[in-house]
Structure 1
Amino acid sequence: MRIRPATDADWEQIHPFFAETVAAGETYAYPEDLSSEQAKALWLEPPPGQTVVAVDETTETVLGSAKMGPNRPARGSHVATASFMVSPAARGRGVGRALGEYMIGWCREQGYRAIQFNAVVETNTTAVRLWQSLGFEILATVPEAFDHRRDGLVGLHIMYRRL
């Protein structure tokens, strides 16, 4: 697996798992009726941020993607944030961990002081465990802040890692 900056040409492979992830209603609060172009504008992060893809080196298949950059502008720009999506076909293969490790290194190189995840759905236990294993802690949980398709109103964790 290789991680590299995403290009416009990658969107054709990213969009199907982006749309499937959003439609599942379990991890992201994006509107479900986004056009491909609207979704692309949300996911492909402009500088000073970056969007990357994890690709299978043999087939060049996009296995997952992450976007990262400043959590807030100006006086909050020393803290990064990031979002991740892994193709359902590639889950359980270490793609999320590889993207997370890449993101932490990139944030360090860019001079960020910390990383803050603003909204990790508490029922997404696989992601919560991954982020905790990479040094993130849960600072708070906003009760009933996410309307989960299956579980109804569930909490959103605010997670943090100092760099």
Structure 2
Amino acid sequence: MLIREATAEDWPAIWPFFHEIVAAGETFTFPLDLGEADGQDWWLVKPPSRAVVAVADDGTVLGTAKMNRNHMGNGSHIASASYMVDPRHSGKGVGRALCQYSLDWARESGYRAMQFNAVVETNVAAVGLYRSLGFEILGTLPEGFDHPAKGFVGLHIMHRAL
């Protein structure tokens, strides 16, 4: 697996699973009816932020991540990131590789920590992954997310020093 900079040419491969994940409404706070153009604008961020893709040896896009500063001004030393793995390729270490890549990027870019603002508590795979990579839950916003099957569930704020 190779992780490289994402380009507009990658978007046609990203959009189908991006759309599937967003429309399912289980893990992201994006609008469920987010259109393709807006999705591309939101995901393929401009420098100094970064968007990457994880690709298989045959060039298949397996997943993607975007990395950015979490806050502006005097809080701009804290990074954040978001990840999407094509469900057809879950369980193969793609999410772990993307998360580790983003941690390395943040450290090399001079950030002091990484914070995730809204990890849905029922997304146990993501919570487990982040914890295994050293993130801690700082707090949980009770009923901060309206899950389509489980109703109102919490949103974790997760943090890791770099």
Indicate the TM-score class for this superposition, using the shorter chain for normalisation: over 0.9
Bigger mean CA offset, 24-33 vs 61-70 = 24-33
- Residue 40 of structure 1 aligns to a residue in which SS? helix
Task: Write the deviation string for residues 16-37 of structure 1: whole angstroms up to 9, x where unpaired.
Answer: 1110001111101111222211
1:130 aligns with 2:145: no
The CA distance in 1 between the partners of 2:144 and 2:43, in whole Å, is 22
Q: CA RMSD in A?
A: 0.6
Q: Which amino acid aligns with 2:114?
A: I
Matches for 1:105-124 after TM superposition, within 5 Å: 105-124=104-123
Residue of structure 1 equivalent to 2:40: 40
Ranges of 4+ aligned residues in structure 1 off by more than 6 Å: none
C-alpha deviations, 1:88-129, integer Å up to 9, x for none? 110000000000110010000000000000000000000000
- The percent of aligned pairs where both chains have the same amino acid is 59
The SS at the match of 2:26 is: coil
**What runs of 5+ residues in structure 1 fail to find an aligned partner?**
none
User: Which residue does the alignment assign to 2:95?
Assistant: 96
Aligned equivalents of 2:143, 2:13: Cα separation in 1: 33
Q: What's the CA shift for 1:151? A: 0.2
Partner of 1:55: 55
Kindly tell me the number of residue pairs found equivalent between the two proteins. 162
- Whether the aligned pair in 1 keeps the contact of 2:63 and 2:83 (CA below 8 Å) is yes
Structure 2: which 5+ residue stretches go unaligned?
A: none
Question: Which amino acid is the alignment partner of residue 144 of structure 1?
Answer: E
**Residue 22 of structure 2 contacts residue 34 of structure 2 at CA under 8 Å; is this kept in 1?**
no
Counterpart Cα distance in 2 of 1:40 and 1:116: 23
Which residue number corresponds to residue 15 of structure 1? Answer: 15
TM-score, reference length from structure 2: 0.98
Whole-Å Cα distance in 1 between the matches of residues 129 and 85 of structure 2? Answer: 13
Query: Equivalent residues in 2 for 1:80-91 (5 A)?
Result: 80-91=79-90
